[in-house]
Amino acid sequence: MRKLLSSAGHEVIDAGDGIEGVRLACAIKPDLVLVDLNIPGLNGFEVTLRLRGEASLGRVPIVAITAEGDRDTSLAVGCTGFIQKPIEARTFANLIARYLRGAREMPSSADLEEKMLREQSQRIVGHLELKIAELSSANARLRELSLARTEFYRNISHELATPMTPIVGYLKLLVDEDLGPVTKGQHKALVAMDGCVKRLRAVLDNLLDVTGLETGRLRFALREYDFLDTTRRAIASVADRFAERNQTLVEELPRGPLPGYGDPDRLQRAMVHVLENAAKFTPEHGTVGVRVTRTASAYELCVADSGGGIAVGDFDRIFEPFIQVDGSVTREQGGVGVGLAIVRRTCRGLGGDVRIESPSSQVIEGVPLSGAAFTIRVAIRAPMELDG
Ligand SMILES: Nc1ncnc2c1ncn2[C@@H]1O[C@H](COP(=O)(O)OP(=O)(O)O)[C@@H](O)[C@H]1O
Ligand SMILES: [Mg+2]
């Protein structure tokens, strides 16, 4: 058909199935629609009915390619005409030309048309019923899988966390020489192991946090703390990261103290996630700026960078667990895409939120930072937890 029509001078656009056909027809507004009745998804009758409800398509001719016996239903649902299969190469292009000039087939009788339309409606409802049943069982299956996944996180985090505790304990005993003197070489090895254990611990903490996110059980341990101290500790713990990448860190910190009531451990981890992201997603030799401010009821930490920033369309997605905009950069720099999900959950749990600006208009210590800017906000006094 494509060949015959092309050689007659028409431009032909194919759709793979009924749904795509509807989408393409609405977008392209063709001069004529040819619809095969027996197609996947929406069948030809359904496509025709749907297109006839589309005002913008007006009375564009719709021609059904039919087998014997579908004539009356085709016309009843709004087809202009029909072409019987098998297609005859000799006359096909002429038939199409007739329909393009405005030819239409007439239904045999109004009564018959009404009967056909009613039968067709019944078939559509049957079809719909089947689809809804399929969808709801697919949905139930997805829910089950999602529950299993959450369960898996919980189990795996505990399985991993349990043996960590004695490892940390024995390492400490060895380093402190409580189990006997160690040589210089052994001490060096123990310190290296301790570094690795700390990294494992951080991965595990993330996993436990994600489990908390998934199950809605993120516990906060609220106490008096200092926001500025927490910020400084977070910055200190990622200083190596900035140095490794030859990045400059600029700071605008107020004079403390900034006393508050919240969960400084969780808050510090959230700050570290945002700072690590800035280091990760800013090229080498770039700049990262941090600014701490205080509003009437909240403390804020803004982290802005000179990197490539984030497209507006990705603002919401990146806060979902496991979503990364560009897997390849992250593979290079590490990370599994849970940082920002934890950050948001933490901030909200502490009576605040996190916001994003990109391209950023932040200027910190006189340095314009036009990449991404993330601002962590927490209430000075975190609200008592109702339900973690
Ligand atoms: N400062 C930033 N600049 C550019 N993109 C960022 C920045 N921070 C986060 N992103 C994007 O958000 C995604 C999610 O971040 P996150 O949840 O911390 O996961 P991860 O760091 O493990 O990739 C990142 O993969 C990245 O695409
Ligand atoms: Mg991250």
Integer-rounded Cα radius of gyration of the chain: 32
Q: Which atom of ligand 1 is nearest to the CA of 321?
A: 17
Cβ–ligand 1 contact at 372 (below 6 Å): yes
Cβ–ligand 1 contact at 35 (below 6 Å): no
Number of residues that this document lists for the chain: 388
Burial class for 346, CB neighbours closer than 10 Å (0-12, 13-18, 19+): buried
* Centre of ligand 2 from the C-alpha of residue 273, in Å: 5
Q: Which atom of ligand 1 is nearest to the CA of 277?
A: 8
pLDDT, position 388: 43
What DSSP line would sit under 131-198, residue for residue? HHHHHHHHHHHHHHHHHHHHHHHHHHHHHHHHHHHHHHHHHHHHHTTTTS---HHHHHHHHHHHHHHH
Q: How far apart are the first and last CA of the chain?
A: 63
Residues with CB under 5 A from ligand 2 (ion): 277, 335, 339
Cβ–ligand 1 contact at 336 (below 6 Å): yes
**Which residues does residue 289 pair with via DSSP β-bridges, in sequence order?**
250, 304
pLDDT, position 58: 85
Is the bond leading into 257 cis (omega within 30 degrees of zero)?
Answer: yes
Element (H or E) spanning 95, and its range? helix 89-100
Measured CA distances, 140 to 132, 145, 215, 337 (Å): 12, 9, 18, 26
* Centre of ligand 2 from the C-alpha of residue 121, in Å: 53
Q: Are 293 and 300 within 8 A, CB to CB?
A: yes
Cβ–ligand 1 contact at 324 (below 6 Å): yes
Q: Which atom of ligand 1 is nearest to the CA of 334?
A: 22
Cβ–ligand 1 contact at 335 (below 6 Å): yes
pLDDT, position 375: 98
Q: Quick one: which of 194, 208, 282 has its CA closest to 238?
A: 282
Most ligand 1 atoms within 8 A of CB, residue of 249, 277, 302 to mutate: 277
Give dist(CA 174, CA 290) in Å, integer.
39
Q: Which atom of ligand 1 is nearest to the CA of 305?
A: 1
Task: Name the closest-CA residue to atom 18, ligand 1.
Answer: 339
pLDDT, position 180: 93
Is the bond leading into 86 cis (omega within 30 degrees of zero)?
Answer: yes
Burial class for 366, CB neighbours closer than 10 Å (0-12, 13-18, 19+): exposed
Q: What is the pLDDT along the chain (388 residues), one digit of tens a residue?
A: 999 999 999 999 999 899 999 999 999 999 999 999 888 888 899 999 999 999 999 889 999 998 776 888 899 899 999 998 888 999 999 999 999 999 999 888 888 888 888 888 888 888 889 999 999 999 999 999 988 887 887 788 888 888 988 999 999 999 999 999 999 999 999 999 998 998 888 888 887 777 777 666 778 899 999 999 999 999 999 999 999 999 999 999 999 899 999 999 999 999 999 999 999 999 999 999 999 999 999 999 999 999 999 999 999 999 987 778 876 665 566 677 888 999 999 999 999 999 999 999 999 999 999 999 999 999 999 987 654 4
**Which residues does residue 83 pair with via DSSP β-bridges, in sequence order?**
65
Give dist(CA 332, CA 277) in Å, integer.
13
Q: Where are the alpha helices (DSSP H) in 305-351?
A: 327-333, 339-349
Task: Name the closest-CA residue to atom 25, ligand 1.
Answer: 324
Nearest ligand to the CA of 281 is: 1
User: Residues near 257 by Cβ (< 8 Å), separated by ≥ 6?
Assistant: 226, 228, 229
Q: Quick one: which of 347, 343, 370, 345 has its CA closest to 359?
A: 370
User: Residues near 42 by Cβ (< 8 Å), separated by ≥ 6?
Assistant: 17, 18, 19, 21, 22, 50
Q: Which atom of ligand 1 is nearest to the CA of 342?
A: 17
Give dist(CA 336, CA 332) in Å, integer.
12
Most ligand 1 atoms within 8 A of CB, residue of 305, 318, 328, 369 to mutate: 318
